[in-house]
């Protein structure tokens, strides 16, 4: 259940297999000193790590769940 709070402390929905996610790489910065971001498709997941296929390159990477967020909330909220 949502706490009603906005911002970083609010509860987030977890990505499921087949969801599009935004992955944030805080270590590698782009030339303008912004965090590198990319969009990927969740292929598989464990408790803390997801197997992601990067949409731009098709490359498969493993990414921590704490460094990703859902691209768009699903309209099937009752199924989650």
Q: What is the pTM of this model?
A: 0.67
Q: Is 53 a member of any domain?
A: yes
Tell me which residues of the chain have a pLDDT lower than 50: 1-2, 4-7, 10, 74-75, 77-80
- Give the domain extent around 61: 20-71
CATH number at residue 42: 2.30.30
Count the domains in the chain.
1
Residue 69 confidence (pLDDT): 86
Residue 79 confidence (pLDDT): 47
Cα 36 from Cα 48, distance rounded (Å): 20
What is the DSSP code string of 7-68?
Answer: STTS--PPP-TT-EEEEEEEEEE-TTSPEEEEEEEEEEE-SSEEEEEETTT--EEEEEGGGE
């Amino acid at each position: 259940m949502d706490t009603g709070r906005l911002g970083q402390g609010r509860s987030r929905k977890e990505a499921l297999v087949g969801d599009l996610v935004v992955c944030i790489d805080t270590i590698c910065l782009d030339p303008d000193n912004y965090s590198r971001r990319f969009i990927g498709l969740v292929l598989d997941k464990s408790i803390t790590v997801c197997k992601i296929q990067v949409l731009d390159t098709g490359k498969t990477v493993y990414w921590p769940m704490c460094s990703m967020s859902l691209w768009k909330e699903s309209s099937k909220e009752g199924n989650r």
